Structure formats: structure tokens, C-alpha cells
Chains A and B, each alone.
Chain A
Amino acid sequence: MNAAIEFRNVNFAPRRGRRLLNGISFEVEEGTTTAVLGRSGSGKTTLLRTVNRMIEPTGGEVLLRGKNVRESDPVALRRGVGYVIQETGLFPHMTALRNVGLVLEAQGRPARDRVRLSEDLLNAVGLEARTFRERYPFELSGGQKQRVGLARALAAQPQVLLMDEPFGALDPLTRAEMQDMLRDLLASLRMTALLVTHDLDEALYLGDRIVLLGDGRLAANMRPEEFLRSRQPDVEAYVQAFHRGEERAVAAPGKSA
């Protein structure tokens, strides 16, 4: 049993303001994806950011492959941890190719390696490198930008991948395509991933486990099928919130006819 990421009683309480994380403990097994669900403000993003030390917990510890992240230099640590955010965060003054290779550039890798690796990654996320390498972010669609963002996160061959609502801004069809691409990619790379989302479907589709946060506490940590069947009130409430539309449409079949 190898935990790639382990949270041990993680607390985060900024000096001013309310406690954002309260005694969170769970493990993410090597090569698996854990989806972190919860409503806005439940502490999902905060938890994610403790892994690459963008936030330092005020209590407890975060272990990456058994090593407390606090013992790693933040710069080196972050280069070994892929990070994808919702608004892609692509640098507008760089081409897709340079965006992807930026971490390699920061590491001082020679240009030839950088270009070759970045092209391979663009191809791997479904963007033909020959067509897309010289494009600037403004020339890309939302889905394409997100693909570049993902390729960039994978450039330094990270040990783990952190994703914060990566597809939140996309339409459902594009999102589905992205989810398929991501699922294949994670499987082929045997990547460990922590995926923050509020979309139940996405969590069920991509997660090997689902963690539910509520008010900074760990409310549930289950396999997707357990999550759907759970009778635990806060889990049930979350699942039901996603099926309201469906229930209404089924319950009132004659109305629209």
C-alpha cells in the first residue's frame, strides 16, 4: 500500500478569518485519482494547495511519497507537482509551445529537449503540435487552452497532478471530451491525481475515490459506487442536488406535451 499523497490531520486557520481546514486525514494511493467534492468555500482548493506549499497548513502534515512537503524546497517541490487551474493561467505573451515548456525552461533544460518534449506533450493532449505550437492563447478555444494547461502541468514529469476545477468553465460536451482525454492520459501515465471539482458526474467518472469536504472537515471518503448509494445525510444531499432536474422531468411527464 503506497500512499503518493497523505494528509495527516491537516488544519488551516488563517490568523484572521474562519478555520478553513479542520483535521483532514486521508491518503491518495499511487497511480489513482481522488476527486475532492464539496460546495464553494468548503476548503477544497485550500487543501489542494497545501500539497505544493502554496499554502502552509497551520497544523498537521502533508506527505508526498512519504516525505513531509515542508522538508522540500518550495521551488523544487512545485516543479515536481503538476498544477492545473480552471482559468488555465496560460501566459498570454507565450506561444502554446513555450507555455508547455516553461517549467523545463526554468530548469535550464536545453532548447532542443524542451521543444521535443513539449511537442510530444501537445500531441498527447490531442493538439497536433505542427498546427498548434506557434499559437498564442488568444488563438485557442477554451478546451484547447485547457489542453495546453494540462500539457504544461505534465511537462516536468511530475509525481502527482493537482487539478482545481480544470474543466469548470467548459460546456458539457467539451468537458466530456476533456474528461475522456484526461482519463486515458492519467491511466497511461499511471499518474496520481487530486482533482478538485464540484461536479458530481466528473468526480464519479474520473475518481477512484471521492472525498467530500464540508466546512473544512472530511465528510466522506468513499469509492464512487459507495458514494452514490450512501445513506449518509450530507452525501445524500450532495447526490440529490445533482438529480433534481432529472427527477422533476421524470415525475411530471405530461406537462410539456
Chain B
Amino acid sequence: MKEFLAQYGSEIAQLLTEHLWLTFAAMVLATAIAVPAGVMLTRRPVWAKPVIGAANILQTIPSLAMFGFLLPLPWLGERAARVAIVALTAYALLPIVRNTYAGIRGIDPSLVEVARALGLTDTQRFFKVELPLAGPFILAGLRTATVTCVGIATIAAAVGAGGLGELIFRGVASVDNRLILAGAIPAALLALACDGALGLVERWARAPGPASGPAA
């Protein structure tokens, strides 16, 4: 065990960093797309079904196939990391859009009404009332998406994008369980750590008061 770590420790650390980077980049992209999209859907609810449906379909594409589809695309295919980030972004969209939309729609309509009646502008209403109240819900979506991405990012190694999946693929190829575990255990721990950390953020963002559910 000790010598295994001595031999692979620095590689694990490096792949972990890559893994984290892929996930982080994808999450930043997905958040930048999906949160505004979710907000827009609350303003134009007729679009909610088709858009969320489309995100849902993206979600059903097997990840290996998704990486494969993206690989031959012009600019994307030049670098494996680009392919991986775009694919992960696609998977992260659904939970974020859905939770943003549902979180804002779930706000007590009388509160939105009062915000208008008090003379808050649309922007003020959004930032002072809707966003803080839907915040925990949106964060829950980010959390789900992040954990999903950490998992799927292991497949990115299949197209040469690096990450902890590399150890797993190598382990499978050489029938070396130690290598598989050397990739799988850090990946699982990373997922748990992200889940825990974002859970804390979510709790901090929740409106004070007795546990009152997401729509409180």
C-alpha cells in the first residue's frame, strides 16, 4: 500500500486536479447558461415544457456516446478537455434549469404580489425577493449537477481528457484492481466532498426559521 502510494501518489494528485478542473469549468458554464435560462422560463412559462424536455433528452444520452458525438466536431475536437467540458455542461443543465424554474415558481405568489405592490421594480423584486427565496432550491440543483459531473467526468478519460478515469481505464485494461480503486476512491471522495460542501452553502442560504420546505 505504502509503495503503491509512493509510486502513484503524485499522479493521483495530478489527475484529481484535472478532474476537479473539468468539473469546475463545466459547472461554471452550466450555471451561467442554466440559471438565467431557468429565470427566463419563469417569465415565459409556455417555454418551460419544451426547454426542460430538451434538457431532459440531453440527460438520457449515454455519456460515452456523448463524448463520441462531440469528438469529430471542428473546434471542440481539437482538445479532449473541450469535449469533456461541453459534455459535462450538457449533463449539468437539467438539474439547474429545473430547480431554478421550480424554485422561483414555488415562491408564495402573495409575496411576489406584495413585492410589486410595494413598488419594487422587476429587477429589485428578482434580487431582493425571488432570488433569495429560491436560492436554496437553485443551490440544490447545483449540488445535484456537481455530483453528477464528478461521476461522469471519469468517462472523460475515454477521449483522453484526463481526470481520475484514466487510472480506472488503465486498471481495467491491465486487470489491476489497485489502479481501478486508485481512481474510483478519490472520485467517490471528491463527489462526497462536493456534496457536503454545497450542502453547507445551501443550509446557510436557507431563510431562517423552522424547517419550512423549499417554498418557504
Contacts and interface: CB of A to CB of B under 8 A. Distances in A.
Nearest to A162: B117
Contacts of B181: none
Interface of B is mostly: helix
Nearest to B124: A106
B216 A106 contact: no
Contacts of B111: 89, 91
A92 B216 contact: yes
Contact of B118 (A79, A92, A139): A79
Interface string B123-155: 010001100110000000000000000000000
Nearest to A78: B119
Contacts of A79: 118-119
A44 interface: no
Contacts of A76: 119
A191 interface: no
A93 B207 contact: yes
Interface in A73-93: 74-80, 83, 85, 87, 89, 91-93
A35 interface: no
B133 A103 contact: no
Nearest to B117: A83
Interface residues of B, number: 22
Nearest to A138: B209
B60 interface: no
B208 interface: yes
B114 A83 contact: yes
B133 A52 contact: no
B13 interface: no
Interface residues of A, number: 26
B210 interface: yes
B114 A85 contact: yes
B119 A92 contact: no
B10 to A, nearest CB: 46
A91 B209 contact: no
A136 to B, nearest CB: 5
Contacts of A78: 116-119
Interface in A89-110: 89, 91-93, 102-103, 105-106
Contact of B208 (A52, A74, A75, A138): A138
Contacts of B118: 78-79, 83, 102-103, 106, 152
A252 B129 CA distance: 55
A52 B114 CA distance: 12
A111 to B, nearest CB: 15
B122 to A, nearest CB: 9
Contacts of B116: 54, 78
A14 B112 CA distance: 21
A165 to B, nearest CB: 12
Contacts of B208: 92-93, 136, 138
Interface of B: 110-111, 113-121, 124, 128-129, 132-133, 207-210, 212, 216
Given A85-B117, A92-B208, A93-B208, 7 more contacts: A78-B116, A80-B119, A89-B111, A91-B114, A102-B128, A138-B209, A139-B209
